Amino acid sequence: MRGPHNIWRVIRTGATFERTGAMRVALEALDAPRSLRIAARVLGWPFAWLGLKGDTNLPPVTRALTALGPAYIKFGQILSTRPDVVGGELATQLRVLQDKLPPFPTERAKQVVARELEMPVAQMFSEFSEPVAAASIAQVHRARLVGTGQEVAVKVLRPNIERAFRKDIDAFYLIAWLVETLSPNSRRLRPNDVVAHFEGVVLRELDLRIEAAAAGEFAANTARDEGFTVPPVEWFLCSRQVLTLGWAKGIPYGDTEAVIAAGHDRKAIASRTLQMFLTHALRDGFFHADMHQGNLKVGPTGDIVALDFGIMGRLDEYTRRVYAEILMGFIRKDYRRVAEVHFEAGYVPSDRDIDEFAQALRSVGEPIFGMDASRISMARLLAYLFDVTEQFGMETRTELILLQRTMVVVEGVARSLDPNINIWDVARPVVEDYITRNIGPKALVSDLLKTARVLSRFGPRLPQLAEAALLAQNAPRPDPAPSRWPDRALFAAIGLLAGAGLLALLS
Given the DSSP bridges, would you call strands 304-306 and 125-134 parallel, antiparallel or unpaired? unpaired
DSSP string, 98-122: HHBSPPPPHHHHHHHHHHHHTS-HH
Contact 1, 168 (CB under 8 A): no
Q: Report which secondary-structure segment, H or E, holds 408.
A: helix 401-417
According to DSSP, residue 46 is labeled G
Q: What are phi and psi of 314, to 5 degrees?
A: -130, 145
From the candidates 99, 170, 225, 290, which is the catalytic residue? 290
Contact 194, 402 (CB under 8 A): no
> What long-range pairs does 315-319 form, CB within 8 A, spacing at least 24?
315/281, 315/285, 315/287, 315/399, 315/403, 316/285, 316/399, 317/285, 317/438, 319/399, 319/400
Given the DSSP bridges, would you call strands 138-145 and 228-229 parallel, antiparallel or unpaired? unpaired
Cβ partners under 8 Å of residue 234, min gap 6: 145, 152, 244, 245, 246
CB atoms within 10 A of CB 139: 22
CA-based nearest residue to 400, from 206, 221, 189, 184: 189
What span, in angstroms and rounded, lies between the C-alpha atoms of 51 and 68? 9
What span, in angstroms and rounded, lies between the C-alpha atoms of 32 and 317? 40
What span, in angstroms and rounded, lies between the C-alpha atoms of 189 and 177? 12
Contact 254, 92 (CB under 8 A): no
Cβ partners under 8 Å of residue 69, min gap 6: 164, 165, 167, 168
Contact 52, 12 (CB under 8 A): yes
CA-based nearest residue to 43, from 17, 4, 8, 72: 17
Angle at 195 between CA 92 and CA 207, to 5 degrees: 80
Q: List alpha helices for 183-229, DSSP H.
A: 191-205, 208-221
290 part of the active site: yes
Active site (catalytic) residues: 290
